[in-house]
Chain A
Amino acid sequence: MSTLAELLRQGRNDEVWQRCCGFIDLSLDDFMMIQRRLLQEQLGLFKKCGLGKVIMRGATPSTVDEFRQQVPLTRYADYAPYLLKRRKGMLPKTPFLWQHTSGRSGEYPFKWVPLTSRQYDELGPAIFAAIIFSSCKQRGDIALKEYDRYLYALAPSPYLSGLIGHRIDEEDLVEFLPPLDEAEKMEFADRVQQGFKLALLEGMDIMGAIASVVVAVGERFSQGNGKIDIKPFLRRPSALLRLLKGFTKSKLARRPILPRDIWPLKGIVAGGTDTAVFADKIKKMWGRYPLNLYASTEALVVAMQTWDYQAMTFLPHFNFLEFIPEAESFKSREDPTYQPKTLLLNEVEAGEKYELVITNFLGGAMARYRLGDMIRITSLRNDSLNIDIPQMAFHSRVDDIIDIAGFTRLTEHVIWQAVEYSGIAYQDWTVRKEVKDKPRLHLYIELKDNSDMSEEDIALNIHQRLKELDSDYANLESFLGLRPLEVSRLPGNAFQAYMLKQQAAGADLAHLKIPHINPSDSMLDFLVSGEWKVPVPPRKAPRREPVPSR
Chain B
Amino acid sequence: MNLYALLPLLAVIAYIALITVIALRPLERVHKVFIWYMAVSALWSFCSFVLHAELFPTQTLLWNRALLILGCSAGLLFYHFVRAFFNKPAGKVTYLGYVILVAAAIFVSQGGILQSSYVVDGVLYWETDVSFYPLVVFSAIFVGMAIALLVQGIRHSTDPQERNRIGYLLAAISIWILFALTNFVPALANYSVDHIGNIAFALVISYTMLRYHLLDVRLVVRRGLAYSALLIILLAIYAGVILIEFNFFPEHPLHVIILLVASVAVLLFAAARPLRHLIVGLVDRLFHRETYAYRQSLLSFSRRMGGNLSLDEVANEMLPNICKALRLTQAKLLFQEVSSGDFITQFTYPPTEEGVNDQLRFSSDNPISIWLTREGKTISPEQISRIPQLKGLWAAEKEKLAASGLGLLCSIKSRGRLVGILALGKKQEGGIYSHEDINLVTSTANQAGIVIENAQLYTQATTRANTDGLTGLYNHRHFHERLEQEIARGSRFGTMFSLIMLDIDLFKTYNDIYGHLAGDQILRKLGELLKESIRSLDMAFRYGGEEFTIILPETRIDDAYNEAERIRKRVERKMTSKAMPLTISLGVGTWPTDGVTKEDIIASTDAAMYRAKQTGRNRTHLSSDVAKPEAPLAGGVTPAQRGALSVIYALAATVDAKDHYTYGHSKKVSEYAVNLAEALRLPAERIVTLQAAALLHDIGKIGVPDSILNKQAPLTESEWAPIKEHPQLGAEILRHVVDLINCLPAILHHHEHYNGTGYPEGLKGEDIPLEARILAIADAYDAITSLRPYRQCLSSREALAELKRCAGSQFDPELVDIFSTLIEPTYTKELEIK
Contacts and interface: CB of A to CB of B under 8 A. Distances in A.
B392 interface: yes
A23 interface: yes
B24 to A, nearest CB: 20
A230 interface: no
Contacts of B87: 11, 13, 142
B395 A18 contact: no
B88 to A, nearest CB: 5
Given A11-B87, A118-B395, A145-B89, A25 B388 contact: yes
A18 B387 contact: yes
Contacts of A202: none
Contact of A10 (B157, B370, B394): B157
A187 interface: no
Nearest to A7: B156
A316 interface: yes
Contact of B392 (A1, A22, A37, A118): A37
B387 A10 contact: no
Contacts of B386: 15, 18-19, 22
Q: Which 8 pairs between the two chains have the least Cβ-Cβ distance?
A: A11-B86, A37-B392, A22-B388, A34-B392, A19-B386, A10-B156, A13-B87, A41-B394
B391 A317 contact: yes
B364 interface: no
Contacts of A18: 386-388
Interface string B382-399: 100111110111111000
Contacts of B88: 11
B394 A19 contact: no
A33 B392 contact: yes
A40 B156 CA distance: 36
5 contacts: A2-B156, A6-B156, A11-B86, A26-B388, A33-B392
Where chain A touches its partner, the secondary structure class is: helix
Contacts of B388: 18, 22-23, 25-26, 30
B160 interface: no
Nearest to B152: A10
Interface in A19-36: 19, 22-23, 25-26, 30, 33-36
B131 to A, nearest CB: 32
B342 to A, nearest CB: 15
A197 to B, nearest CB: 26
A26 B387 CA distance: 10
A127 interface: no
A1 B367 contact: no
B813 interface: no
A458 interface: no
Interface in A317-343: 317
A265 interface: no
B153 interface: yes
Contacts of B370: 33
A537 B563 CA distance: 92
Contacts of B156: 2, 6, 10, 12
B385 A1 contact: yes
A18 B396 CA distance: 23
A38 interface: yes
A316 B389 CA distance: 10
Interface in B336-367: 365, 367
A440 to B, nearest CB: 41
Contacts of B391: 23, 34, 38, 316-317
Interface string B368-390: 00100000000000100111110
Contacts of A38: 391-392, 394
Contacts, number: 70
B400 to A, nearest CB: 13
Given A1-B385, A23-B388, A23-B391, 19 more contacts: A1-B382, A6-B156, A10-B86, A11-B85, A11-B153, A13-B87, A18-B387, A22-B388, A26-B388, A30-B389, A33-B370, A34-B389, A36-B392, A37-B367, A37-B394, A38-B391, A40-B394, A41-B394, A317-B391
Most buried by A among B156, B382, B391, B393: B391
B404 to A, nearest CB: 16
A145 B89 CA distance: 9
A25 B152 CA distance: 30
B253 to A, nearest CB: 68
Interface in B139-188: 152-153, 156-159, 162
Interface in A381-420: none
Interface residues of B, number: 27
Most buried by B among A11, A30, A33, A35: A11
Nearest to A93: B395
Interface in B409-454: none
Nearest to A23: B388
A40 B159 CA distance: 32
Nearest to B386: A19
Nearest to A35: B392
Interface in A30-72: 30, 33-38, 40-41
A22 B388 CA distance: 5
A35 B391 CA distance: 9
Contacts of A1: 382, 385
B86 to A, nearest CB: 3
Contacts of A35: 392
B170 to A, nearest CB: 15
A388 B446 CA distance: 32
A41 B395 contact: yes
A337 B808 CA distance: 63
Contacts of A22: 386-388
Contacts of A142: 87
Contact of A12 (B157, B392, B393, B394): B157
B431 to A, nearest CB: 17
A362 B393 CA distance: 11
B829 to A, nearest CB: 71
Contacts of B162: 12
A145 B370 CA distance: 35
A38 B392 CA distance: 6
Nearest to B82: A11
Given A11-B153, A33-B367, A38-B392, A19 B86 contact: no
Interface in A124-179: 142, 145
Contacts of A363: 395
A30 B385 CA distance: 16
Contacts of A26: 388-389
A41 B365 CA distance: 13
Contacts of B159: 12, 15
A41 B88 CA distance: 40
A316 B388 CA distance: 9
Contacts of A23: 388, 391
A2 B370 CA distance: 25
A145 to B, nearest CB: 7
B365 to A, nearest CB: 7
Nearest to A1: B385
A124 B87 CA distance: 22
Contacts of B387: 18, 22
B456 to A, nearest CB: 27
Interface string A300-317: 000000000000000011
A216 B387 CA distance: 40
Contacts of A10: 86, 152-153, 156-157
Contacts of B394: 37-38, 40-41
A19 B385 contact: yes
Nearest to A44: B394
A145 B86 CA distance: 13
B444 to A, nearest CB: 27
Nearest to A33: B392
A362 B391 CA distance: 11
Contacts of A37: 365, 367, 392-394
Contacts of B158: 2
Nearest to A6: B156
Interface string B110-150: 00000000000000000000000000000000000000000
Contacts of A317: 391-392
